Amino acid sequence: MKKKHFSFSESSRRDLLRLGMYGIGVSAAALPMPLFAQAVASQANANGKILVVLELSGGNDGLNTLVPYGDDAYYHHRPNIGIPRKEVRPIDDHFGFSRGMAGFERLYKNGKLAIVHGCGYENPSFSHFTSMAYWHTAAPNSGEQYGWVGRLADAMAPEAPPNFLVNIDTRQSLAVRSRRHVPVVFDDPNKFSQDVFFDEREALPSSTVSEQIANPSRRFLLDTAQSAKQASALVREAWSKYHSPVDYGVVGLDLPKVAALIEAGMPTRLYYTAYRNNAFDTHVFQNDTHKRLLTYASDAVAAFLKDLERIGRADDVVVMVFSEFGRRVPENVNLGTDHGAANLMFVAGKQVKGGQYGAVPSLTKLDVGDNLIYQTDFRRVYATMIAGWLGLKDTRPLLNGEFEPFDMFQRA
Amino acid sequence: MDISSATKPDGKNGDLAESNMAADRDEDFNTRYGSFRGWQMAIERVKPIPRDTAQLNLSRMVLDQRLKDTTQVVDYMIHRFMRVPPSDEARQKMIVFLNKELGTTDISVAQTYLEDPLRLVLHLIMSQPEYQLG
């Protein structure tokens, strides 16, 4: 049977575009702010804390990150790639960090790093794309139009002030997609500007969107252009003035850029960044590569906290680190590991009550696919960030469920 | 000077990060030098892509339409290249820009040097947020 396709002629498509029926979104400015949103926003604004989310893309192997060297089952599952106990950095008589993670070891021993064991969700997906989308939206095995950080921004600041939400990457993450906010998205601060010839500068449209715009797609594009234009000057200035004596290591990730913006006094409360390019997808000969990746990530996070101390903002910031899934418990024939399920999450900051949270998944009672069985819904950690750190008491509307936050911070 | 000293990061006080200390400890494979050398080798293997200006004849396009002045030209180009027109402010700015580039509003007297200014106007059109609604 022939499928029926809708097709627009050039003129009708043009008409639709003019009328604004082709595209997405609802004008944020047109939405009234409900009373409950105002109440939530006032809670969050009074708090003034900053959350930085760091995504380790590719599915970090949690078992070779925090090695359960005290468990023989670990070495049984990983006879070739298991990290020998003499090579780990022990934090207790059961667990030790991978050799290069001096930064995390130092943070943990100084009581500034929380480790949450066994994070995951029911019916885990082994697809990077799908699982990451679940983590981005905080909606496993269902759907959400907006990301959880975007929804959080909407709840914290429904009036959507500029520069509230920053995503440092080459493209916008689903996690920061917001109904009301236009996230500031950039990669290289030095290139965060509109590239035009000198003569053209005067001829560019102004950044203010003054007129009433009925077309929601056009409104969205103008808002985005306005946001980029306003933020880019601030970002470039902040980056040009930022000179830190702190060593972020060989790969600083994007955390020096976050430190630069915080030092410059950007009003941003939510930062989202990633160790990009599926870096942690270690299927083959993983040990050397994985050790380096962990060293770089650990160096960067530890240096970031040290940098925050330098600029006097260490009490105001926490970093949450996650990956879309862990790796399968047994090693594969290529001396790597395949996509798994439950994994560790980390929360680092001066105000963090360091230690280990959540139940540790068993290495002998695995699921049918030889994966760790999750013990803590990852949204419980999100709830900890939202309620415990940022001060929004009711996380249910944001996370579509009740998740009890961990008592993870020094001050409420 | 040895390779570790030569590749030490500048301007860093206090403790070095583990990855930089590892680079110093391991003379067989200095990560910093390895990264640099890898980048250098990648650059050496890059095959330059020849780049030419776009093969367009905007002057011919405008002259064929028998447009008389810069306002007509800008309006024609907006209609030709955009699905959703820009704001009136943006349109006015493009007209002023073209007037300035040509030194006249009369297209007939600017026929011989029309192409470059028109390309700049096209670049401005492509720089409008609304251009993405194409």
Q: A239-266 pLDDT, tens per residue?
A: 999 999 999 998 889 999 999 999 999 9
Place A412 in a pLDDT band, splitting at 50, 70 and 90: low
**Within a domain: B2:** no
Q: Which of A162, A140, A144 is nearest to A153 (CA)?
A: A162
Angle at B67 between CA B81 and CA B78, to 5 degrees: 20
Buried b (16+ CB within 10 A) or exposed e, A322-336: bbbbbbbbbbeeeeb
Do B65 and B129 lie in one domain? The reply is: yes
Among chain A residues, the shortest Cα distance to B123 is held by A196
Domain of B35 in residue numbering reads as: 7-45
- Candidates A18, A203, A299; nearest CB to B18: A299
Scanning the structure block, which residue is given the tokens 């429904």? A158
Residues A290/A83, Cβ–Cβ less than 8 Å = no
In tens, the pLDDT along A288-308 reads 999 999 999 999 999 999 999
B37 falls within a domain: yes
Q: Has residue A74 got a pLDDT over 90? A: yes
User: Which positions in chain B touch A248 (Cβ < 8 Å)?
Assistant: 17
Q: Report the pLDDT averaged over residues A145-161.
A: 96
What's the CA gap between A268 and B65, in Å, rounded? 51
The per-residue pLDDT for A31 is 42
Chain B contact for A275 (CB, 8 A cutoff) = no
Residue B53 lies in a domain: no
Structure tokens at A170: 């080459």
Shared domain check, B111 and B62: yes
The reply to whether B51 falls in a domain is no
Average pLDDT over residues A203-212: 70
Please report the pLDDT score of residue A207 as a whole number: 61
- DSSP reduced 3-state for A116: strand
Question: B85 and B36, same structural domain?
Answer: no
Q: What one-character DSSP code corresponds to residue A297?
A: H
Residue listed under structure tokens 């950080």 = A149
Instruction: Looking at the structure, tell me whether residues B117 and B68 fall in a common domain.
Output: yes
* A301 interfaces chain B, CB cutoff of 8 Å: no
B1 lies in some domain: no
In a domain, B22, yes or no: yes
Q: Which residues have a Cβ under 8 Å from the Cβ of B38 and sit 6 or more positions away? A: none
Q: Does residue A337 register a pLDDT over 70?
A: yes
Q: How far apart are CA B86 and CA A204, in angstroms?
A: 11
Whether residue A154 is predicted with pLDDT greater than 70 in this model: the reply is yes
According to the model, what pLDDT value does residue A4 have?
Answer: 39
pLDDT-wise least confident of A228-237, A291-300, B60-69: A228-237
C-alpha span between A359 and A365 (Å, rounded) = 14
> What is the model's pLDDT at position A42?
52
A17 and B83 within 8 Å at the Cβ level: the answer is yes
Nearest CB partner across the interface for A203, out of B18, B94, B129: B94
Nearest to B17 among A199, A206, A248 (CB): A248
Lowest mean pLDDT among A119-133, A266-280, A377-391, B51-65: B51-65
Which segments of A242-361 does DSSP mark as H helices, in order? 255-263, 286-311
Tell me the pLDDT of chain B averaged across its residues: 90
Share of chain B above pLDDT 90, in %: 63
What end-to-end distance do the CA atoms of chain B give, in Å?
A: 58
> Dihedral angle at the C-alpha atoms of A355, A360, A363, A365, nearest 10 degrees?
180
Residue A102 reports pLDDT greater than 90 = yes
> Would you call B17 and A197 a contact, using CB atoms and an 8 Å cutoff?
no
The residue type at A185? V
Q: Using CA of residue B34, residue B37, residue B41, residue B43, what is the dihedral sign? A: positive
pLDDT recorded at residue A43:
52
| B78 and B102 together in one domain | yes
Q: Which chain A residues are closer than 8 Å to B22 by Cβ?
A: 100, 295
pLDDT interval class at A33 (50, 70, 90): very low
Same domain, B30 and B67: no
Report chain B residues whose CB lies below 8 A from the CB of A245.
Answer: 11-14
Distance of CA A21 to the CA centre of its chain: 33
For residue A344, give the 3-state DSSP assignment.
strand
Are residue B70 and residue B19 in the same domain, yes or no? no
Residue with the two structure tokens 């990457």: A169
Residue of A nearest to B32 (CA): A250
Q: Are residues B35 and B86 in the same domain?
A: no
What domains are there in chain A, each with its CATH number? 42-399 (3.40.720)
State how far the Cα of A252 lies from the Cα of A71, in Å rounded to an integer.
33
Q: Which residues pair with A119 in a beta bridge?
A: A343, A376
Domain check: are B26 and B84 in the same one?
A: no
Q: Which residues of A touch B86 (CB under 8 A)?
A: 205
- Determine the straight-line distance between the first and last CA of chain A, rounded to whole angstroms: 63
From A101, A204, A249, residue closest to B20, measured CB to CB:
A249
Residue A260, C-beta contacts closer than 8 angstroms, at least 6 positions apart: A189, A238, A239, A241, A242
* Same domain? B18 vs B75: no
Total count of domains within chain B: 2
Mutation pick from A98, A200, A208 vs chain B, by most beta carbons of B within 10 Å, is A200
Residue B35 lies in a domain: yes
Say if the Cβ atoms of B18 and A243 lie within 8 Å. no
Same domain, B73 and B127: yes
Cα–Cα distance, A251 to A248 (Å, whole number): 7
Neighboring chain B residues of A298 at a CB cutoff of 8 Å: 18
B16 with A247: Cβ contact below 8 A: yes
Phi and psi at residue B44, to the nearest 5°: -65, -30
Residues B66 and B115 in one domain: yes
Q: Following DSSP, what letter does each residue of A178-200 receive, concatenated?
A: -SS---EEES-GGG-S----GGG
Residue A21 in this model has a pLDDT that exceeds 50: no
Task: Tell whether A215 is within 8 A of chain B (Cβ).
Answer: yes
pLDDT tens-digit profile of B7-28?
777 777 678 898 888 877 766 7
CB A57 within 8 Å of CB A391: no
Q: Which helix (H) or strand (E) holds A383?
A: helix A378-383
Give a yes or no: residue B41 inside a domain. yes
